[in-house]
Structure 1
Amino acid sequence: MITQLELTNFSAFDHLKIDFSKRINILVGKNGTGKTKLLKAAYAVASGGRVLRDKPKTTHDELRAFLSDRFVRLFVPLDRRLGALVHTNPQANGSGASAAAQIQAVMGSGERVTMGFGRDSDAIALPSDINHQGYRANPVYIPTKEIISFMEGFNSLYERYNLSFDQTYQDMYVLLELPKLRRENRHPVATRVMEQIEAFCGGRFIFHGGGKVTFNAVGGAEYSANSIAEGFRKMGVLARLLETGSIEPGVNGSLYWDEPESNLNPKLMRFLVETLLDFSRHDQQIVIATHDYVLLKWFDLLMDKAQGDEIAFHTMYRDEESGRLQVETVYEYLAVRENAISSTYSELYDSEIDRALGGAV
């Protein structure tokens, strides 16, 4: 879990500092305001726990190498150079050069993690005395595109060639290919949500290994996963992550989800919000980025403070004077400013009223 993230001269950010809720965090803003970059930065920092969990005696140099490769594969910078992720500020001087990039994070345990690199760096710099306690939970990142439809053969191609996919897709492939937990070892919330997803989809996705996935409909008929609606495939990804224990509320690391609402019908969208709220009530930190007004409103309508629900709305925007990306955090939907999503829906509503009145407004 990450409770605070500070980015200086990194990627699109001159300087940005954000405090995350331990429950639900929603990043909103126009295109080009850095929502996905912020998601990936938090995920990259938190995923250092993976190598520490798999190899507890990881050396300092091994961790540096892992994180350096991690940032390059997640962000896919120009020429796949780590130094290309240093923020370029055209206003700094004639060359647009910037100081070194620095990333600071405060983990849920209170531990502070700091890393940085320069424009000519090949590896991330880490303090030699970094304390890794509490830095071992494994986060999950669900990218915008579902992966079930192209899993077969994907991993071998990704390992061998420079594909146009960032590493979040390979990470998802690896998680989906894990063996499933025994039913008695699953979190009760996981079992309930899996059953609800099966009811919504009219069946369940079966993972055979090697990237092969089929869909077994209620009644016994078997179909190719590609013949199933994309929204159902997206729910199938969530069900599989629960089935393998990759998402285990209160046990595993944070859940990062980029545009979870894409290709979901309204009924599934409400179910998704109810599910994420349920996860958060069992100590799962969630960070999502969205463009969807309906998803935001469902969170606003369904949250229940009596059950301890807390939603941090992080509005990301570009300051008109400085041109810098900024973030403003509030804990009430009605207090959200610079909300291009709701203003667009209001404009659509006004246009509909105007048409109904024959342009009299």
Structure 2
Amino acid sequence: MLEKIKFEKFTAFEKLEIPLSTGINIFIGANGTGKTHILKALYATSEIAKSKKSLAEKIKRVFLPSGEQMSRLVTKNNLSGYFEVTRQVADIANSLTIRLTLSTKEQEKTTGAHKQWLEHSLESVYIPVKDMMANAPGFRSLYNLRNIHFEEVYADIIDRVFLGALRAPTNTRQKKLLDILQQAMDGKIITNNEEFFLKNKQGELEFTLLAEGIRKLGQLWVLIQNGTLLNGSILCWDEPEANLNPKLMRIVVEILLELQRIGVQIFISTHDYVVLKEFDLQTKNTDKVLFHSLYRNRGEIEIASTENYLNISPYEVTK
């Protein structure tokens, strides 16, 4: 599990250190306070533990700075910046820390427990604001063959949803989550020639004709069904409330809390009061939920973290 992330002179952050819950981490804050940047940094660092890619290259593909100039990720008027992530691995006594340092001279350097980090695989997934399952046919081939201006999180999520189901039988808790989503969607998700459909008693309806809120539920169903979201995995989800009916938010929060209970570490960003209120209403005493409020103090981004919904401060969400 990821324990903390630290930034210095990186993108929007002058200096910031964030303790991370092993359960659910909810990032709140006004536009421009770096919520998505935090999720992308956490995801990229987690993803290389499985893909074995260069951290610098993954960050470049995930953030996609203009002209692929990594120096653009350094806070303005500074010569260098970095971020580092600390991770706990079950069979290692000490935590592992990996750091990526960038400079305005277009030099990148990965330091820390880089070798050990890559030796211990980690399943991770990033769900962007825009649904990609409706746009999946042909996208992977296009992305692999052509230089198109898409952040790699879009290609990665398509790779994840195209994974086949696990050979192992569905366990009880996994089946419970799938049943909740199937009831909410009134069907299950199938694929045919890289195209996704919602299948129910009325037939098969292609994703391009589905409401985007239903697509979000379908995306969760697929990721649970194919084993991407299992004990020990990482889920980063940018604004799950986008294009989602508030009534369905109750289902999404229920699923996220259940995933946390089976050992998935979750990071979400939100602007929405409904999301926070649903977590407040559904969270049990044994659940691990940490709210991180990002705000500007004299121009610099700072953070206040709390386990109690009522203690969130400063409070800047859409009500």
TM-score interval for Structure 1 and Structure 2 normalised by the shorter chain? over 0.9
Q: CA deviation at 1:144?
A: 0.8
Partner of 2:197: 214
- Paired residues for 1:14-163 under 5 Å: 14-52=14-52, 63=53, 66-88=54-76, 96=77, 98-109=78-89, 110-127=95-112, 130-132=115-117, 135-163=120-148
TM-score by length of 2: 0.92
Q: Deviations over 1:231-284 (max 9, x none)?
A: 111111111111111111x24x21111111122223321111111111111222
- Which residue of 2 is the match for residue 289 of structure 1? 269
Q: Quote the offset at 1:311 in angstroms.
A: 1.3
**C-alpha contact (below 8 Å) 1:140/1:246 kept by paired residues:** yes
Mean alpha-carbon deviation: is it higher for 36-45 or for 265-274? 265-274
- Using the TM superposition, give the Cα deviation of residue 129 of structure 1 relative to its aligned residue in structure 2, in angstroms: 7.1
Q: Is the 8 A contact 2:2 2:20 kept in 1?
A: yes
| 2:55–2:100 Cα contact (<8 Å) kept | no
Shift of 1:24: 0.9
Contact 2:134 2:195 survives alignment (8 Å): no
Q: CA separation in 2, counterparts of 1:128 and 1:295?
A: 36
2:183 paired with 1:199: yes
Quick one: distance in 2 between partners of 1:283 and 1:129? Answer: 24
Hey, what does 1:328 align to over in structure 2? 304
Query: Does 2:215 match 1:236?
Result: no
Preserved contact between residue 39 and residue 256 of structure 1 (Cα < 8 Å): yes
Closer/same/farther in 2, CA of residues 123 and 99 from structure 1, 3 Å limit: closer
| Higher strand proportion | 2
Cα distance between partner residues in 2 of 1:129 and 1:193? 35
Aligned AA for 1:314? H
**Residue in structure 2 matching 1:258, options 238, 243, 255:** 238
Q: Does 1:273 align with 2:257?
A: no
Over 3 Å counting, the alpha-carbon distance change for 1:339 and 1:205 in structure 2 is same
Q: What is the letter of the counterpart of residue 324 of structure 1?
A: E
SS in 2 for 1:125: strand
Structure 2 distance, partners of 1:152, 1:101, is 39
Q: Distance in 1 between matches of 2:119 and 2:27?
A: 25
Q: Which amino acid aligns with 1:217?
A: N
- C-alpha change, 1:240 and 1:15, in structure 2 (3 Å) is same
**Aligned-partner Cα distance in 2 for 1:192–1:67:** 36
- Residue 168 of structure 1 and its aligned partner are, at CA, apart by 0.7
Q: Secondary structure at the match of 1:299?
A: helix
Cα offset, 1:32, TM superposition: 0.8
Equivalent pairs counted in the alignment come to 314
Cα RMSD, aligned residues only: 1.8
TM-score of the superposed pair, with normalisation by structure 1:
0.82
DSSP 3-state at the match of 2:243: coil
Q: Measured at CA, do residues 161 and 102 of structure 1 come closer, stay the same or move farther in structure 2, by a change above 3 Å?
A: same
Provide the C-alpha distance between the structure 1 equivalents of 2:115 and 2:75, rounded to a whole number of angstroms: 25
Q: 1:41 to 1:157 in 2, by over 3 A?
A: same
Partner deviation per Cα, 1:83-105 (whole Å, 9 max, x = no partner): 221111xxxxxxx2x13222221
1:12 Cα offset (Å): 1.3
Report the more deviating stretch, 125-134 or 73-82: 125-134
Name the CA distance, whole Å, in 2 between partners of 1:187 and 1:16. Answer: 40
Q: Which structure would you say has the larger Rg? A: 1
Structure 2: how far apart are the matches of 1:83 and 1:67? Answer: 15
Q: Aligned AA for 1:116?
A: T
Deviation at 1:69, TM superposition (A): 1.4
Taking the aligned partners of 1:303 and 1:129, their CA distance within structure 2 comes to: 36
C-alpha deviation, 1:163, in angstroms: 2.8
Aligned to 1:247: 229
CA drift of 1:188 comes to 2.8
